[in-house]
């Protein structure tokens, strides 16, 4: 993570989540600013839910590590984080050295959790100032991973590693979690059969919006997790819902069109989504009055 002075381009501070990364846990995740009260003082913080399965709370003024905790049900590549936020590795669950495959042989295979597609990937989480909770789209999966010789083949990925992504629960892979960043507690959760690969939106009327590969746009009560709305869009939702107001009414829009990394890289997981419809449609909905919070000019 980088903090950059917009006037000069200078890097003010940086924080690395997975040093010496051997699992492809590069953090392509958003960093969200938020404030909270502690011991009578305002803490200017920033949070990220990383691909590696850990949720990090940082001081956004200087990049200092405040706290971190797993936001997935289980991970096995690290025992935890030290006082500076660096992972405490489990050496037995690190893929073998690339040097092991230099002679053309496949390197040692290990099982790592989460899979390289991440406890969370690109899809943004959301924060509510009202509940002071983060709403995190997460996935429970693991991978067999090993190093192997690289060979160029036109149109194919150039990786130097092999992998198979596997589900670890028969009933769900995706989990939408409401997380308290001050304690690490999961306040509520929603389990989804297939992976969650779309972003999350909170609205001032007390709702949490997201979509799933099965095609449903869903709205949850931000305090209880009760699903209050569900609509089948006809294709899987990968994008993020957005909201705006017009003429005193509030609206929600979402793009429906299945694709992306899960069916491409998903291995055994891809079997869960291979029958989902393709598509490309923008859907727009007007919120009921009781859930609207329209900006006043």
For the question of residue 82 being annotated catalytic, the response is no
From 5, 21, 24, 103, active-site residue: 24
What span, in angstroms and rounded, lies between the C-alpha atoms of 53 and 256?
A: 27
**Alpha-carbon distances of 201 from 75, 86, 120, 128, rounded to whole Å:** 26, 30, 15, 9
| CA-CA-CA-CA torsion sign (175, 132, 237, 26) | negative
Phi, psi of 244 (to 5 degrees): -160, 170
Q: Which helix (H) or strand (E) holds 68?
A: strand 65-70
Residues of the chain by 3-state class (helix, strand, coil), percent to 5: 5, 40, 50
What span, in angstroms and rounded, lies between the C-alpha atoms of 273 and 213?
A: 7
The tokens of 17 are what? 């989540």
User: Catalytic site residues?
Assistant: 24
């Amino acid at each position: 993570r980088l903090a950059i002075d917009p006037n000069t381009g200078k890097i003010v501070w940086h924080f690395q989540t997975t040093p010496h990364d051997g699992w492809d846990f590069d953090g392509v995740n958003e960093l969200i600013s938020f404030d909270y009260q502690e011991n009578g003082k305002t803490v200017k913080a920033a949070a990220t839910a990383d691909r590696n399965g850990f949720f990090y709370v940082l001081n956004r003024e200087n990049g200092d590590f405040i706290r971190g905790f797993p936001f997935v049900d289980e991970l096995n590549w690290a025992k935890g984080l030290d006082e500076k936020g660096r992972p405490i590795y489990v050496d037995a669950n690190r893929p073998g050295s690339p040097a092991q495959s230099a002679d053309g042989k496949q390197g040692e295979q290990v099982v790592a959790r989460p899979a390289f597609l991440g406890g969370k990937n690109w899809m943004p989480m959301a924060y509510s100032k009202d509940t002071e909770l983060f709403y995190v789209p997460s996935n429970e999966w693991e991978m067999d991973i090993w190093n192997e010789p690289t060979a160029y083949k036109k149109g194919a990925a150039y990786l130097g590693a092999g992998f198979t992504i596997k589900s670890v629960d028969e009933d769900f892979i995706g989990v939408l979690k409401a997380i308290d960043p001050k304690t690490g507690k999961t306040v509520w959760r929603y389990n989804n059969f297939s992976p969650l690969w779309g972003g999350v939106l909170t609205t001032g009327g007390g709702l949490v919006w997201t979509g799933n590969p099965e095609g449903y746009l869903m709205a949850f009560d931000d305090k209880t997790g009760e699903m209050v709305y569900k609509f089948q869009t006809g294709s899987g939702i990968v994008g993020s819902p957005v909201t705006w107001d017009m003429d005193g009414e509030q609206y929600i829009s979402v793009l429906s069109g299945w694709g992306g990394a899960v069916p491409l890289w998903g291995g055994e997981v891809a079997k869960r989504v291979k029958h989902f419809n393709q598509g490309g449609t923008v859907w727009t909905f007007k919120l009921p009055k009781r859930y609207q919070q329209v900006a006043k000019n």
